Amino acid sequence: MIIDAGTRPVTGCDTAATLLLVTRPYYLALRRAIGTPLRPCGVVHINEPGRALTATDIEAVLGRPIIATVPYDPAISRAVDSGLLTTRVPRMLARALRHLVPTITTQTR
């Protein structure tokens, strides 16, 4: 199950076998993640150059492990914005997340 919560409250997700938080290393994003009742199994970290917060900081604040790091790439943003992420996954994203697919598939069975 993939949920893009955006800025709205998320409910009814406790039945998901695998719940992952995808976040950038922003102070406000981490504050919001702490305030939600959902507890992800792990975190996918979008690594942006020049940010003060690190993956270690995210793990410490959220108390959840970083299970994947995706490098920031404008091609990924364009695929999301155009609605093509599910049909034409950018190579950089596919490489960063390829080890998650077997894990998620196994856990949801």
Burial of 34 (0-12, 13-18, 19+ CB in 10 A): exposed
Within a domain: residue 51? yes
Within a domain: residue 65? yes
Within a domain: residue 104? yes
Please tell me the distance from the alpha carbon of residue 108 to that of residue 22, in angstroms, as a whole number. 19
What is this structure's pTM?
0.69
Q: Which residues of 61-88 are buried (b: 16+ CB within 10 A; e: fewer)?
A: ebebebbbebeeeeebeebeeeeeeeee
Q: Which domain holds residue 38?
A: 20-108
- Give the model's confidence band at 10: pLDDT under 50 very low, under 70 low, under 90 confident, else very high: low
Within a domain: residue 58? yes
Within a domain: residue 55? yes
- Give the model's confidence band at 109: pLDDT under 50 very low, under 70 low, under 90 confident, else very high: very low
Within a domain: residue 8? no
Is residue 89 scored above 60 in pLDDT? yes
Q: Give the H/E segment covering residue 69.
A: strand 66-71
Number of domain units in the chain: 1
Within a domain: residue 31? yes
Within a domain: residue 2? no
First to last CA, the chain: 12
DSSP summary character for residue 15: T
- Please identify which residue in the block is written with the tokens 């596919």: 94
By mean pLDDT, which of 2-6, 42-46, 76-80, 87-91 is the weakest?
2-6
